[in-house]
Amino acid sequence: MELKITCIPGDGIGPEIVAEAKKVLDAVAAKYGHVMRYTDILMGGASIDVHGVPLTEEAVETAKSADAVLMGSIGGDTTTSPWYKLPPNLRPEAGLLAIRKALNLFANLRPAVLYEELAGACPLKKEISAAGFDMMIMRELTGGLYFGERKTVEENGVRKAIDTLTYDENEIRRIAIKGFDIARKRRKKVTSVDKANVLDSSRLWRKVVEEVAKDYPDVALEHMLVDNCAMQLVKDPAQFDVILTENMFGDILSDEASMVTGSIGMLASASLNDTKFGLYEPSHGSAPDIAGKDIANPIATILSASMMLRYSFDLDQEADAIDNAVKSVLQAGFRTADIMSEGCQRVGCRQMGDLLTERI
Ligand code: IPM
Ligand code: MG
């Protein structure tokens, strides 16, 4: 089959990790008889440097014309990079928010898994990590505080900033449906996370999630307040299967969950709309401090490519080939710097890509 993929190498370590992901995808294509058609677009700082804006209309159109988008990372050092002297709507992150909105990518899937081989990197006590964990954070991605009206004004000489948090029931329902659908393919439990003891948007969230749950009698639903969820993630992460939550809570909880795995360089993510189209990217950032040094971990991007094959192209066998290659490389003791431990062999970004390619 022919796979039309738009790539966004982006900033920082983005170009190096996307290059490795393409290498692995090419090996998959060769083995299973597919044709990969890549088109690169600029986004974030890379686009600012060329076009003066973090995302152009043409780039969005190119992305729309593909079957899926594979992204590295965007953004730079917020204290030193000139990109952060620009007005907020022209900074690298604005490009990411704009493409999410333009492609209607309302469902963000962020798996947080404790890899057996990397259990030593988990910062939790052994008594806790021994149970292992494997959760999917489902974050609403195109609503809430991120896209509400915002402004900064001055009233009687006092500066005041306003951000608004809005959700309508349709926005809640469509992400809830995705959450329950995914739970059905997993361990059939949804933890819906909100702040219903304070926020109206959370009270509506809870009601709509309960309505959706009626269509999924085989899936267990529980509600959890976001502050409690932050605690539970470090106290007993094994209790979670699918965490379903709004944009801002999901941003924060997914970083916490990834840190708890001890290996953020391993975590993939998918952002989906209501068709098969999706944007796939690692959960980590652009790590400008290590860019260009061939020490970044490409695995999160490569696993994002695997999610792309699975969710956008229904190529489960091919996705399994990538996931198994990752397991095999870890079992053989190869590690990039971020997941290095005693007795293992340290490899760079390119070599990790080569080792994975050989195993496809
Ligand atoms: C993420 C990032 C983005 C977000 C930033 C870069 C705007 O933190 O993807 O989690 O907050 O969504
Ligand atoms: Mg984030």
Q: What is the DSSP annotation of 7-61?
A: EEEESTTHHHHHHHHHHHHHHHHHHHT-EEEEEE---THHHHHHHSSSS-HHHHH
Rounded-to-integer distance, Cα 116 and Cα 134, Å: 11
Q: Which of 71, 74, 93, 301 to mutate to test the pocket of ligand 1 (most atoms within 8 A of CB)?
A: 93
Q: Please identify every residue whose CB atom is under 5 Å from ligand 2, which is an ion.
A: 251
Rounded-to-integer distance, Cα 283 and Cα 21, Å: 15
Structure tokens at 212: 């959706």
pTM: 0.93
With a CB cutoff of 8 Å and minimum separation 6, the contacts of 189 are 183, 219, 220, 221, 222, 240, 241, 242
Place of tokens 């690169």: 40
pLDDT at res. 121: 86
Structure tokens at 323: 């996931």
Query: Atom 12, ligand 1: which residue's CA is nearest?
Result: 251
In 306-329, which positions are buried (b, 16+ CB within 10 angstroms) versus exposed (e)? bbbbbbbbebeebbebbbebbeeb
CB atoms within 10 A of CB 76: 22
Query: Atom 5, ligand 1: which residue's CA is nearest?
Result: 93
Rounded-to-integer distance, Cα 292 and Cα 279, Å: 24
* Gap from CA of 255 to ligand 2 centroid (Å): 6
Query: Atom 6, ligand 1: which residue's CA is nearest?
Result: 93
- With a 6 A CB cut-off, is 96 part of the ligand 1 pocket? yes
Using alpha carbons only, give the angle 128, 134, 138 rounded to the nearest 5 degrees: 120
Q: Write down how long the chain is.
A: 360
* Gap from CA of 274 to ligand 2 centroid (Å): 22
User: What atom of ligand 1 comes closest to residue 141's alpha carbon?
Assistant: 12
Q: Which positions are catalytic?
A: 146, 195, 227, 251, 255
* Gap from CA of 2 to ligand 1 centroid (Å): 31
Ligand closest to CA 247? 1
Rounded-to-integer distance, Cα 145 and Cα 161, Å: 13
**The CATH fold of domain 1-110+268-360:** Isopropylmalate Dehydrogenase (3.40.718)
Is residue 178 within 8 Å of 219, Cβ to Cβ?
no
pLDDT at res. 226: 98
- With a 6 A CB cut-off, is 246 part of the ligand 1 pocket? no
- With a 6 A CB cut-off, is 11 part of the ligand 1 pocket? no
Residue-level pLDDT, tens digit, the chain, 360 residues: 999 999 999 999 999 999 999 999 999 999 999 999 999 999 999 999 999 999 999 999 999 999 999 999 999 999 999 999 999 999 999 999 999 999 999 999 999 999 888 988 899 999 999 999 999 999 999 999 999 999 999 999 999 999 999 999 999 999 999 999 999 989 999 999 999 999 999 999 999 999 999 999 999 999 999 999 999 999 999 999 999 999 999 999 999 999 999 888 999 999 999 999 999 999 999 999 999 999 999 999 999 999 999 999 999 999 999 999 999 999 999 999 999 989 999 999 999 999 999 999
Query: Atom 2, ligand 1: which residue's CA is nearest?
Result: 251
Structure tokens at 6: 């738009």
Place of tokens 């939550």: 245
Instruction: Evaluate whether the domain defined by 123-261 bears CATH number 3.40.718.10.
Output: yes
Rounded-to-integer distance, Cα 98 and Cα 93, Å: 9
Is residue 289 within 8 Å of 77, Cβ to Cβ?
yes
User: What atom of ligand 1 comes closest to residue 269's alpha carbon?
Assistant: 9
Residue intervals of the chain classified under CATH 3.40.718.10 are: 1-110+268-360, 123-261
Torsion, Cα of 244, 245, 247, 248 (10° steps): -140
Is residue 244 within 8 Å of 210, Cβ to Cβ?
no
Query: Atom 10, ligand 1: which residue's CA is nearest?
Result: 251
- With a 6 A CB cut-off, is 93 part of the ligand 1 pocket? yes
